[in-house]
Amino acid sequence: MTTKQMGVFQQPDRKNILSSFLNLLFPPLCPLCEAGIKEDAFCAPCLSGSKRMDGPVCLLCGRPFASEAGIHHTCADCLKKNPPFVKARSAFYYEGTLLSAIHRFKYGGNMAFLKPLSLLLSHAMTLLNERPDIIVPVPLHKERLKKRGFNQSLLLARELAKGLSVEVDCMNLKRTLNTLPQVDLKEKERVINVKGAFTVKDPSKFKGKRVLLVDDVFTTGATVRECAKVLKKAGAEVFAVTLARVGHM
C-alpha cells in the first residue's frame, strides 16, 4: 500500500521549491558564454570544446596513451615502479574551454564555475569506479591559502562528497613546506619541489581507510604522488581523481 493510499502525504521539499522559484527569477547561465541553461552546468557548445578522457589509459596512473585504439593497460613507468596510489583517473584533458574554466575559477576566484566543474569531476569518479571511505583534498600551504583566499581542491572535494555522502577530511593532510608554484617547473623539478612537502597530522584517521585524494589538475603527478605517499605510510589505501589532466607528455 502506498503512502497516498494510507492517507499519508509527504510534505513538499521546500528547498527544491525555493530553488525552482529562484530559477524562474534568475535562470542559470553558462559561466563561460552566459547562455541560458537548465541547470548549473556548462552549455553543450562550450562543453564540446573540452575532451573527455575516455580513451585507453594506464590501469594504474591513468595516463592517456597516444593511440585512442586498444584497451587499458599498464604504462611503462608504472611497470618500472608502482605509484603510491592504487588507481588515478581524470575526467577531461587539460585543454580548450575546460582549461579556461579552471583558470577562471582557480586564479580568478569566480565561484560560478564551482558547481559546473564539480559536475564534470563526477565523470572521473565513474572512470575510477571505486567507493571511498573518506575524501581528502590536496592541501595548500597556509601562505598560499592566505593569498588565494580558498583551496580549489577542497571546494571541489566538498561538492563531490555531497553526491557520495562521504566525509571530507581537510585537517589531517598538511602542506608543511611553502613550495614554488609547480606551473613554472619542469617534470624533474616538480618532483624535487614537493618532496617532503606534506605530512599527516593524525595517522589514525587514515589507517585502514580507502582514501580518495582530490585535486584540480594532474600534470606530471608529482603532487598527487607525494600526497599519496604520506597517506599510504599512514595506512591508507589511496585512490585519486582530478578534474583534468595534461595529455601525452
Q: Residue 208: what pLDDT?
A: 97
Cα separation, 152 vs 158, whole angstroms: 10
pLDDT score of 26: 58
Greatest C-alpha distance within the chain: 68
**Topology annotation, domain 49-245:** Rossmann fold (3.40.50)
* pLDDT score at 8: 40
Query: Could you give the angle at which helices 114-128 and 152-164 cross, rounded to 10 degrees?
Result: 60
Reported pTM: 0.86
Q: Residue 13: what pLDDT?
A: 55
For residue range 10-20, list pLDDT tens digits in order: 444 555 544 44
The phi and psi torsions of 182 (rounded to 5 degrees) equal: -65, -25
Give the helix/strand (H/E) hosting 65.
none
Contact between 161 and 122 (Cβ < 8 Å): no
Domain ranges for the chain: 14-46, 49-245
Tens of pLDDT, residue by residue, the chain (249 residues): 444 444 443 444 555 544 444 454 456 788 998 888 777 789 999 999 899 998 899 999 999 998 877 899 999 999 999 999 999 999 999 999 999 999 999 999 999 999 999 999 999 999 999 999 999 999 999 999 999 999 999 999 999 999 999 999 999 999 999 998 888 788 899 999 999 999 999 999 999 999 999 999 999 999 999 999 999 999 999 999 999 999 864
Cell of 205: 584517521
pLDDT of residue 27: 67
CA atoms of 51 and 187, how far apart (whole Å): 24
Q: How many Å apart are CA 237 and CA 84, to the nearest integer? A: 9
